[in-house]
Amino acid sequence: MAEILPLRAWRYADTFNSKIEELTAPLFDVVSSKQRELLYENPLNSIHLSVPKGADPGKEAFETLQKWKSEGILHQDYLPGIYVYYQYFRLPGETTERCRKGFIAQIKAYDWEEKQILRHENTIVSAVNDRVDLLKKAKIQASPTHGLYDDPEFKLEQWMDEAIQSPLYELEDYQGVREVLAVIHDRQVISEFLDLLAQKQVVLADGHHRIEGSIALRHEMKNEYSDRKWKAHDYHLMYLTNAASDDLKILPTHRLFYGLTESQDSFLDKLSAWFEVKKFGDAEEIGNYALHKPFSFGLLLGEEGYVLELIPEKYKTINHDLPEVIRKLDLAVLHEVVFNQILGINREEQRNSSQIAYERNFARCLRQVRSGQASFALITRELSMRTVMEVCQSGHLMPQKSTYFYPKALTGLLFASIEQSEFEFNYDAFFRKSEG
């Protein structure tokens, strides 16, 4: 099943340990433009590798990386390790601290057809192309994707709990999450991780664009280093957590639309043909409103707020070409009715449309609409983990940006090189079949 390897990580030199909080960054697809500009002001922040500036971002990242290596800002750990990564957090309104336990390793960049890594979302083509170009030129992976494995017996937790007692880093991140990173170098223990994952499929929770970049690069370089058993370009950096844990949280991702060409009244009339449209007393409170019914959404339009509930009879008329596991999703209905039927943007165009944006933060949605920058915002419900697993097992795909697993992994705690000379190691030593 899924092949993983320990990682010879590049990390900030120990002299930066007390400043590691200043050197980390949010993932490239969740960092706001305001956050991004602030992070760029620090010349050593990891954002210069994950979201580099310039006309040729890949070249910029490569040159920055070489400079940091030569100046001793980054160093590579001599031995491969499994990097244990715990995230302690509270959700709004909660007093009890949660802990999402996981580890960072390298996983083979399997084609989707191999069904070792299962995806659930569509991707945006331009974002994948950007990731391929950056990876190819910079030869470094700065941000782990997030994958789920199923271990109901929690077999790996004993070793992770033991390792986390001696952390490499402990910091509070931009989400208010307490991040703790440790490492396991023991060969026998690492073998336990490899053995368990070899029996599992991995469900991709977050990072579809980044892993598609790795898959594309693996294909492009398939004829290189043909004399080597272990090839750097075959592997992808991933943060793996247990799907059996109670501390996996999926938050909704809302939709913003820009450039509506008709009046608000005309748009509401068209919505009324599909939805029961209920005016909401205070638009600012829609973010706290529990949308219990299937195919129900909040709408921010001008200064007003509304609740949309699909007219039941209408469900029978839409998405007949979609498999039932997708057809019954709120977001599949939303994208079909609002963006395709009403606004005339078909599914393929939606994947690359500059008019549609994805935003987790309700307050930001409200500001965008109230300021007139966005024409309207559609407020969505969260998905259950069970639904995500059903879609993954089916082999079908949700609309893009359907899930937001919280908290997000952090960029800058470690980096994975795809430069072959920096990847080389006798990885056979970690597989039990090589013993004796």
Question: Are residues 74 and 51 in contact, defined by beta-carbon separation less than 8 angstroms?
Answer: no
How many angstroms separate the CA atoms of 46 and 28, rounded?
11
Task: Give the Cα separation of 186 and 166 in Å (integer).
Answer: 14
CA dist., res. 215 & res. 222, Å (int): 11
Give the per-residue pLDDT at 125: 54
For the segment 199-213, the average pLDDT, to the nearest whole number, is: 88
- The angle at the Cα of 371, spanning 367 to 373, to the nearest 5 degrees, equals 95
Q: Among 299-308, 391-400, 419-428, which is the least confidently predicted range? A: 391-400
pTM: 0.82
What amino acid is encoded at 9 in this protein? A
Task: Look at residue 85 and tell me whether its pLDDT is greater than 60.
Answer: yes
pLDDT score of 433:
61
Residue 159's pLDDT is what?
98
pLDDT mean across residues, the chain: 91
Can you read off the two tokens belonging to residue 66? Answer: 């070489």
Q: Which of 198-202, 227-231, 270-274, 387-391 has the least mean pLDDT?
A: 387-391
Residue range 283-303: mean pLDDT, rounded: 89
User: Which of 108-112, 184-188, 284-288 is the least confident region?
Assistant: 284-288
The amino acid sitting at 400 is: Q
Contact 10, 417 (CB under 8 A): yes
Determine the Cα–Cα distance for residues 403 and 265; give it in Å rounded to an integer. 31
Does pLDDT of 36 surpass 80?
yes
Work out the average pLDDT over 144-165.
95
CA atoms of 231 and 276, how far apart (whole Å): 56
Residues contacting 198, CB < 8 A, separation 6+: 1, 2, 3
pLDDT at 126 over 60: no
What distance, in Å, lies between the first and last C-alpha atoms of the chain?
A: 24
Each residue of 218-241: pLDDT tens digit? 999 999 999 999 999 999 999 999
**Could you tell me which residue, 359 or 93, shows the higher pLDDT?**
359
For 43-68, how does the pLDDT look when each residue is reduced to its tens digit (9 = 90+)?
999 999 998 988 899 999 999 999 99
Contact at 8 Å (CB) between 242 and 184? no
- The residue type of 122 is N
- What's the pLDDT band for 205 if we cut at 50, 70, 90? confident
Tokens of 43: 């010349």
Query: Measured between alpha carbons, how far is 99 from 355 in angstroms, rounded to an integer?
Result: 37
Q: What phi-psi label fits residue 207: left (phi over 0), alpha (psi between -120 and 50 degrees) or beta?
A: left
Q: What pLDDT was estimated at residue 122?
A: 65
Give the tens place of pLDDT for each residue, 336-362: 999 999 999 998 898 888 999 999 889
- What pLDDT is stored for residue 124 in this prediction? 59
Window from 170-174, 186-190, 285-289 with minimum mean pLDDT: 285-289
Q: How far apart are CA 275 and CA 63, in angstroms?
A: 53
Work out the pLDDT band at 435, boundaries 50, 70, 90.
very low
**The pLDDT value given to residue 434:** 43
Of 288, 265, 287, 285, the residue nearest 277 (C-alpha):
265
pLDDT band at 291 (very low <50, low <70, confident <90, very high): confident
Count Cβ atoms within 10 A of the Cβ of residue 373 and give its class: 0-12 exposed, 13-18 middle, 19 or more buried: exposed
Judge whether 271 and 338 are in contact, CB under 8 Å.
yes
Residue 287 clears pLDDT 80, i.e. is over it: yes
d(CA 374, CA 300): 10
The answer to whether 353 and 347 have CB atoms below 8 angstroms apart is: no
pLDDT of amino acid 128: 67
How do beta strands 235-242 and 145-149 pair?
A: parallel
Cβ distance 138 to 49 under 8 Å?
yes
**pLDDT for residue 95:** 84
**pLDDT class for 201, splitting at 50, 70, 90?**
very high
